[in-house]
Amino acid sequence: MKYFYSFILSFLFLVLISHTQAQTIDKDWKCLYATYDNSANGTGYNVPSVAVVGENDFVALVTRLSNNTCFLIGYTNADSATGRLNFNGYGSACAGIHETWVNGFDIVELQYATDLEGTSDGYVYAASNDPDRNILVFQKTATEILSTEYRMSTLGVLDSDSLWGIDVDANGKVYVSTSGNGPNPGKVLVYEGYAKDANWSQGVPSNPMQTITVPDSGDLRGITVNKEGTVIYVSNYELDKVYCYTGTPETGYTLNPAFSFTLTDRPVASAGDTLNPGPWGLNFMFDKNILFVACANNFKTGSGYEYGRIYLLNPNTGSAVDTIDCAQWNFLMCDSSYQSRGDGDVPGNASSYTSPYNVAFDNNNNVYSVSFYGWTVDKWQYGGTLPVIPLTITGVVKEEGIVPDEFSLKQNYPNPFNPSTTIEFSIKERSDVTLTVYSSTGELITKLINSTSFEKGTYKFTYDASKLASGNYFYTLKAGNTQFTKKMTLVK
């Protein structure tokens, strides 16, 4: 009989682990380490965000709004037990401490920051809510965190709004979200980077390249962009949704109707109360084109620790392709408890006190989350190779004011063309749309739109065929059960 019980226990253990790690791509996620929550290697206080500059090389943002605490803790060659560069004390011992950005006689205290962004050159951008609402730039070295000469005041642009999220594209342009103010919707501000705007080093405010006002009121918390800055995603915590804008920093952005994500999770906690999580931090994995959305409860302890997930989304549609269930992992690793980590260091690969407010990556596509109430940074690794999702949403623009009553595919224009052309189509009801290009011999060249859900309307897609040879090509639109094909000619 003891062999039977041993088999049953082993089976249940495997089921629990499989449930924790089961994902919808094809492999498993696991937490490699969570920085210790103690004086030996801990951050010392609440952690809403992390800036990653390399593998196991990051800066944790420590913020506690109730006592105006806001500073940075650096880690080099980190794991759960080692790597911390500086320490400001543990718990109330560090209350009220501020990171200070200094450039000569120019001094700014980092205040009420909720997000950081790191770049591979070691720069760390902080969205500060000091009186001038500065974007402050620090640099992390192997041994310390330094002030740079760069900062950008948003005073006069934000009025009474607060900065919340921040991101940087591959060209150095900076994107920040504002929380909104009561019934007033939040905004997205796009700034030229310090390499092209001298005002960053002179302490002089610049006008944003673009200002986007979202269509709804509510707190905007996360913001992220693709490598080129042609797609912006921003989360509205109160409405549980993520917006997608496409365009360019130079010409402006349009709300893209092809993307749709609304968090509908309403889990019932063990005590019987219904949780109400929302989307917090966002981050876009450049070389995979995967949008990561950190979802958590709003500063909720106790039963709030029973929920915390990071969704991986298709960047064109908003559909979930995978999930990292941080709360379930913590529950299984911490002796079936959501809020117990022995002495702050056992186990070494679970933070407990689940509150993943933000997410970031290193250059090897490892994922770093935070536990705001666990006071940790957690490193996650995927057991396989993440897929590359073709980013097709960038060329789609909806024609406003046009209400079609039929499906149609128009002739591309100009035609012949070199190297770009516009393809216009209309759909009379919400449908999954696929737009493909074929060679004259029937070989598939590319899927411009791949089974993406579109609302009723008329759309234009700009197709750049600069990598193709001169010749005749065919483009096919499939919307629901309807399909059209037309010919186009590239002449170089």
**pTM of this prediction?**
0.82
Residue 446 pLDDT: 85
Ranges of CATH 2.120.10.30 domains, the chain: 22-382
Spans of the chain, pLDDT less than 50: 1-24
Residue 20 pLDDT: 33
- Backbone φ/ψ region at 442: left (φ over 0), alpha (ψ -120 to 50), beta: left
Task: Classify domain 22-382 by CATH number.
Answer: 2.120.10.30
What string of DSSP letters covers 300-315? --GGGGG--EEEEE-T
Residue 401 pLDDT: 81
Residues 6+ apart with CB under 8 A from 136: 101, 108, 110, 125, 126, 128, 147, 151
At 223-259, the pLDDT tens digits run 999 999 999 999 999 999 999 999 889 988 988 877 8
Residues 6+ apart with CB under 8 A from 300: 275
Residues 6+ apart with CB under 8 A from 231: 225, 244, 245, 246, 256, 284, 315, 391, 393, 394
Give the distance, in angstroms, between the CA of residue 88 and the centroid of all CA atoms in the same chain: 29
Is 360 within 8 Å of 52 (Cβ atoms)? yes
Which stretches does DSSP call E strand in 14-158? 29-34, 49-54, 57-64, 69-75, 100-103, 106-109, 116-118, 123-127, 134-140, 145-153
- Phi, psi (rounded to 5 degrees) for 282: -125, 155
For domain 393-490, give its CATH number from 3.40.50.2000, 2.60.40.2550, 1.10.760.10, 3.20.20.240.
2.60.40.2550
Closest to 267 in 3D by CA, of 235, 324, 211, 309: 309
Ranges of CATH 2.60.40.2550 domains, the chain: 393-490
- What is the Rg, in whole angstroms, of the alpha carbon atoms belonging to the chain? 24
At 406-430, the pLDDT tens digits run 999 999 999 999 998 999 999 999 8
Give the distance, in angstroms, between the CA of residue 284 and the centroid of all CA atoms in the same chain: 5
What tokens appear for 466 in the block? 């600069």
